[in-house]
């Protein structure tokens, strides 16, 4: 009824197995670096300049963001950088939904299936009768299935977090190390020179300690 | 909550720059004492490696095994270290899930404790099995030897549980550390190895609103998931014993009893480490007496729970009078193991319960430091009393024997304690031991209010 262990061994050649592992690692690396690759391959937007304003206080920064939004800058055009998380709704530069929980659920289901398959599949392939127990006993299988499930939840959550935050990212993004000292940065991406001028004016007039304009497409 | 406000009343309001300076000081400056401690610990670790090499060369016979006592010091250490690993991530996760504000200066130090103790624990099955050059036999991959791991074996469950917990704890340690790594990247004055290290590890974190929101969601989710993982690990370690028919091991209560014991020893180690961090790095403004008061309340509750489980386990065996089991009970209470048994009761129940019920003691840091150390001495004895007596007085009297550790076992054991301390010190040298952004966030959320003419500290809820 079962294939003999020898059959399975010759079916799964070590070289093929090694290739499968390499493919798996490559897929994992692809999953991690996918956002970066996607950005690299994406067609450039029409951004011609970016403006960054550094604020000493978070209230001024929040006011500045609201004014920019009133001036017609979209949600994706304004980014706030800070060294601590501010309460939800403080800036509203990112109102999109996170799918980390959904991916965690998918990860859990995937892990459960893979865990069960690993135990049941390989126990059938390498049958080892012991102590009158079935070859694939449910209680023992549940233990490994449980561990595989929770491990997958953690890994899927991590990968989804990296995907949604576009991390790891390269250093060609607008940033200022003074944000680490508590300053709040407001970045505005502009499509025209006129927009950049208006953004500079708004940010400066609302208490920015320093306003910089960077020409070209910077994330 | 009253105790949260207490913790804040004692902690002064600090500026962001002050917090950066205080917590990054151990990373930015090094003095001769660091090198001295690292050097001494490194030598102890080297000696342990020599002892392990000795065991590799001469075989497992260099250990104090007998025909019946084939699980000894390495398994005691394994259970002890895995138990210690329990509370770090667990405490951090529970406090995060319950939004306990006083968690902020504690979580990082506790999480790294879990990762390092777990790493130490995971070494012992490898050391214990012997013939380590054939270790690859236990890795499951299609091979021409037609061998495959037996998933019905609790030892394999161990492997699955420990590797899952270690991976999860690493993720749970690393994820909230990314913003602090970005801070270090920005603060490193010169280009060099460290700057490169922090640049790579911080993954290009800038602190956008998107990043913070996602971090919050991911951490909340992972905190929920990691609690059952932690519980599963020590349950499975207990099943290594409970699935056998050795007297006193074959017990249905072993899983929850092991979990409680693990939480107990782990929490005691968190207290020990927090006291040392406060003292060595002058973190008095961050780790206040109220933090220790809260940790000691957890310790007290767990001490009572541990005693209850131990008594329940003991009573059943004592009442049942099954000869093979009762023989071991007699050895514990009035035989060769009696001094250890009563020392365990003293260190694990009498002293903690007798002292920690007093609020004044819970806030006296030198006293709770000593108590936390005694608890772990007691817990090590408890691990010894779980592993050895059942084997030394098995069903066959002709196999009865006593066990004495050899210099090899002792050296390897001491080496792992030194290794843990060394790795912890190195961690504090490269990474902030208090979650800087979390602490700053806590500062932002606190404020003073006047209620009925009295100034009180209030803490806003961010989510």
Q: How far is CA A126 from CA A8, A122, B130, B145, in A?
A: 8, 6, 25, 11
The answer to whether residue A181 neighbours chain B at the CB level (below 8 Å) is yes
Amino acid A16: pLDDT: 65
- Mean pLDDT, range A102-127, rounded to an integer: 88
Among the partner-chain residues A93, A157, A168, the one whose CB lies closest to the CB of B222 is A157
**Residue B443 pLDDT class (50, 70, 90 cuts):** confident
Least confident among A184-193, B229-238, B374-383: A184-193
pLDDT of A70 higher than 60: yes
B positions 351-370 inside 8 Å of A (CB): none
Select from B51, B147, B134, B7 the least CA-distant residue to B458: B7
How much of chain B, in percent, has pLDDT values that exceed 90?
Answer: 64
| Residue B9 banded pLDDT, cuts 50, 70, 90 | low
Please state whether beta strands B454-459 and B446-451 pair in parallel, antiparallel, or not at all (unpaired). Answer: antiparallel
Which two tokens mark B88?
A: 């770090």
- In this prediction, residues A86-108 reach a mean pLDDT of 85
- The pLDDT, as a whole number, for residue B139 is 73
Which residue does chain B place closest to A117, by CA atoms?
B151
pLDDT in tens, B202-239: 999 999 999 999 999 999 999 999 999 999 998 999 99
Q: Is A143 in Cβ contact with B142 (below 8 Å)? A: no
pLDDT at residue A199, rounded to an integer: 86
Please report the pLDDT score of residue B130 as a whole number: 87
Interface contact A94, partner B, CB < 8 A: yes
Cβ of A154 and B225 within 8 Å? yes
Q: The complex's ipTM?
A: 0.90
Query: From the CA of A182, how many Å to the nearest CA of chain B?
Result: 6
pLDDT value at A6 more than 70: no
pLDDT at B420: 96
> Where is A81: in which H helix or E strand?
strand A78-81
Q: What b/e readout covers B325-336, taking b as 16+ CB neighbours within 10 angstroms?
A: bbbbbebbeeee
Query: What pLDDT, on a 0 to 100 scale, did the predictor assign at position A29?
Result: 74
Asked if A93's CB is within 8 angstroms of B142's CB, the reply is no
Q: How confident is the model at residue B124 (pLDDT cuts 50, 70, 90)?
A: very high
More confident residue, A95 or B397: B397
- pLDDT tier for residue A171 given thresholds of 50, 70 and 90: low
- The verdict on a CB contact (< 8 Å) between B203 and A168 is yes
- For residue B395, name the pLDDT band (cuts at 50, 70, 90): confident
List of chain B residues whose C-beta atoms are within 8 Å of the C-beta of residue A13: 142
Average pLDDT over residues A51-64: 89
pLDDT score for B127: 93
In chain B, which residue's Cα lies nearest the Cα of A136? B152
Residue B338, pLDDT score: 95
A151 vs B168, B187, B210: nearest CB: B168
Lowest mean pLDDT across A127-136, B154-163, B294-303, B420-429: A127-136
Give pLDDT, residue B10.
64
Residue B166 has a pLDDT of: 93
What does the pLDDT read at residue A177? 87
Mean pLDDT, chain A, whole residue set? 81
Please check the confidence at residue B444 and state whether its pLDDT lies above 50: yes
Scanning B222-261 for CB atoms below 8 A from A yields 222, 225-226, 228-229, 232, 236
Contact B38, B427 (CB under 8 A): no
Instruction: Report A:1-30 residues touching B (Cβ under 8 A).
Output: 5-6, 8-9, 12-14, 17
Share of chain B above pLDDT 70, in %: 96
* pLDDT tens per residue across span B74-108: 999 999 999 999 888 888 999 989 888 888 999 99
Looking at every residue in chain B, the average pLDDT score rounds to 90
pLDDT of residue A96: 79
Q: Does pLDDT of B405 surpass 60?
A: yes
Record the pTM: 0.89
Which residue in A157, A160, A219 has the most chain B C-beta atoms within 10 A of its own C-beta, making it the best mutation to test that interface? Answer: A157
Whole-number pLDDT of residue A10: 45
- Residue B212's pLDDT is 93
Average pLDDT over residues B367-374: 96
pLDDT of residue B1: 45
Residue of B17, B204, B219, B233 to mutate when probing chain A, most A C-beta within 10 A: B204
Reported as a pLDDT band with limits 50, 70 and 90, residue B323 is: confident
pLDDT on residue A9: 47
Chain A positions touching B201 (Cβ under 8 A) are none
């Amino acid at each position: 009824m079962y294939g003999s262990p020898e059959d399975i061994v010759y079916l799964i050649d070590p070289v093929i197995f090694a290739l499968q592992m390499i493919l798996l690692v490559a897929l994992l690396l692809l999953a991690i670096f996918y956002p970066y690759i996607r950005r690299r391959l994406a067609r450039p937007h029409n951004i011609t300049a970016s403006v960054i304003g550094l604020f000493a206080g978070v209230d001024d920064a929040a006011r500045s963001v609201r004014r920019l939004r009133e001036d017609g800058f979209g949600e994706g055009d304004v980014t706030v950088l800070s060294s601590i998380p501010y309460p939800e709704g403080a800036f509203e530069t990112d109102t999109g939904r996170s799918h980390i929980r959904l991916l965690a659920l998918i990860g859990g289901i995937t892990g459960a299936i893979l865990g069960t398959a690993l135990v049941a599949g390989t126990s059938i392939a390498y049958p080892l009768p012991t102590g009158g127990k079935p070859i694939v006993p449910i209680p023992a299988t549940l233990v490994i299935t449980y561990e595989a499930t929770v491990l997958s939840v953690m890994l899927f959550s991590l990968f989804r977090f990296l995907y949604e935050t576009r991390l790891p990212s390269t250093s060609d993004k607008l940033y200022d190390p003074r944000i680490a000292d508590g300053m709040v940065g407001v970045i505005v991406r502009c499509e025209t020179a006129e927009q950049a001028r208006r953004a500079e004016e708004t940010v400066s007039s609302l208490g920015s300690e320093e306003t910089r304009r960077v020409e070209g497409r910077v994330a | 909550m009253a105790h949260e406000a207490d913790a804040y009343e004692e902690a002064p309001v600090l500026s962001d720059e002050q917090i950066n300076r205080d917590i990054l000081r151990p990373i930015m400056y090094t003095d001769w004492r660091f090198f001295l401690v690292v050097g001494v610990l490194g030598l102890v670790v080297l000696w342990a490696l020599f002892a392990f090499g000795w065991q590799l060369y001469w075989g497992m016979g260099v250990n104090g095994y007998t025909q019946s006592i084939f699980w000894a010091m390495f398994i005691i250490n394994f259970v002890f270290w895995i138990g210690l690993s329990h509370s770090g991530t667990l405490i951090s996760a529970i406090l995060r899930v319950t939004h306990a504000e006083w968690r902020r200066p504690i979580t990082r130090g506790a999480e790294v404790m879990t990762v390092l103790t777990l790493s130490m624990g995971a070494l012992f099955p490898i050391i214990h099995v012997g013939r380590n050059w054939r270790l690859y036999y236990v890795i499951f991959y299609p091979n021409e030897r037609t061998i495959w791991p037996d998933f019905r074996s609790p030892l394999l469950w161990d492997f699955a549980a420990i590797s899952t917990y270690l991976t999860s704890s690493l993720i749970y340690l690393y994820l909230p550390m990314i913003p602090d790594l970005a801070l270090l990247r920005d603060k490193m004055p010169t280009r060099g190895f460290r700057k490169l290290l922090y640049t790579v590890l911080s993954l290009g974190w800038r602190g956008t609103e998107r990043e913070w929101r996602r971090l919050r969601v991911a951490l909340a989710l992972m905190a929920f998931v990691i609690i059952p993982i932690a519980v599963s690990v020590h349950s499975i370690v207990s099943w290594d014993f409970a699935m056998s028919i050795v007297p006193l091991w074959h017990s249905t209560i072993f899983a929850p009893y092991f979990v409680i014991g693990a939480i107990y020893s782990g929490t005691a180690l968190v207290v020990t480490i927090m006291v040392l961090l406060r003292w060595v790095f002058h973190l008095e403004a961050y780790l206040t007496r109220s933090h220790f008061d809260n940790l000691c309340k957890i310790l007290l509750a767990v001490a009572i729970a541990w005693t209850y489980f131990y008594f329940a386990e003991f009573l059943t065996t004592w009442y049942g009078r099954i000869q093979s089991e009762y023989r071991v009970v007699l050895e514990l209470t009035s035989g060769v193991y009696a001094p250890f048994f009563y020392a365990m009761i003293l260190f694990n129940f009498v002293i903690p319960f007798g002292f920690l019920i007093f609020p004044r003691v819970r806030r006296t840091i030198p006293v709770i430091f000593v108590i936390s150390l005694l608890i772990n001495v007691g817990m090590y004895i408890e691990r010894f009393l779980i592993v050895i007596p059942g084997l030394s007085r098995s069903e066959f009297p002709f196999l009865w024997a006593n066990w004495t550790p050899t210099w090899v076992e002792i050296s390897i054991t001491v080496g792992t304690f030194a290794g843990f301390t060394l790795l912890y010190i190195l961690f504090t040298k490269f990474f902030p031991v208090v979650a800087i952004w979390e602490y700053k966030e806590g500062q932002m959320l606190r404020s003073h209010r006047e209620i009925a003419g009295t100034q009180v500290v209030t803490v806003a809820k961010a989510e």
